[in-house]
Structure 1
Amino acid sequence: MDSTADTYGTDITLANYADALPAVSDPIERAFACDNLLAQVPAVQRDIAEIRAEALYAATLRPGWDGNRVAEHFGISPTAVSKAVAERRGDDRTLMRTALTTLLETDATALATREVAAAITARDVTAMARRLIAAVRHLRSDRLTPAQRAQVARAAERAAALLDAAEGVHG
């Protein structure tokens, strides 16, 4: 199959299949091109599902948009929203908790120790994000290794994205 993959259907993509597939006159070539595209569908479905799950999570960060409202709005079960939210929120909390802990342990922020410590144990991911952004504003970067600076920067970038999503314009 790999040897013919270079011959048949190489210019047909998921973006142009509706016009391109019927235009392939040879039925063998057309069938092979269909097979090539069908093989791509599961990966595309996974990518789209991941993007959708991230969007559902981001929607729950907006004021007034809890999991039930998001589920109702999109016609899906609250369980589906809860699953999408739990996994992503856990990842975000771990990312920010690690960065905040690094800042606390290295004394790399001028933000009050109690504020940083409180953010580390916060359950609300937006509260963690706000504290992390505040801590980075008072960063003493000379106290961090390059790897720690990169870790804190990644977490701060994610925190900013979460706060942007939480303050979205489509209330």
Structure 2
Amino acid sequence: MVIEQVGAFIVGYLIGFLPVMAYGQYRYWRRKKIQETIVKRKADILEKGHWFRVRYSSEDRFHSWFKWFPWEGTGILFMDKESVTFFCDMKEWNYNYMFIPENSKVKWIGRSIWRNGLAYWFAVIDPGENHYFTSETGLTIFGSKKSTQEIYDELKKIFSDSNIAQ
């Protein structure tokens, strides 16, 4: 009797868990494909500086309570000595956004568990709008603190001390 109940629980768990994992794998594959396309398209630019695979959230989405995933786009965050550019393909349209260090600030957010899960975030604060980024960690978000911190540390080298928000 107990063995049957345990077996039924395991089967039920797998039936519920496998579709969620399959959907997560599909989303990861899609993000990776988008990022690889950007890397190919922008190869001549990317070779001139540092670049990182990231997930992106607009300010509205970041602060929203109702969402399946805290990010709404994926792309490449490119850094050279003069600027930081986010190359993205969101909702079937190309999105390139350049941040000028003299006009923008960078801020470590860390975790925002209730609204944005276990991922670690930083923001690039542009006049009138905040842009939120976390590192691309693959299928899961485990390990996002270290990889997101590495990106943030690179950004701090470009932004002056007065443009690093507390």
Normalised by the size of structure 2, how large is the TM-score?
A: 0.31
Q: Report which of the two structures shows the higher radius of gyration computed on alpha carbons.
A: 1
Structure with greater helix percent: 1
Structure with greater strand percent: 2
Normalised by the size of structure 1, how large is the TM-score?
A: 0.30
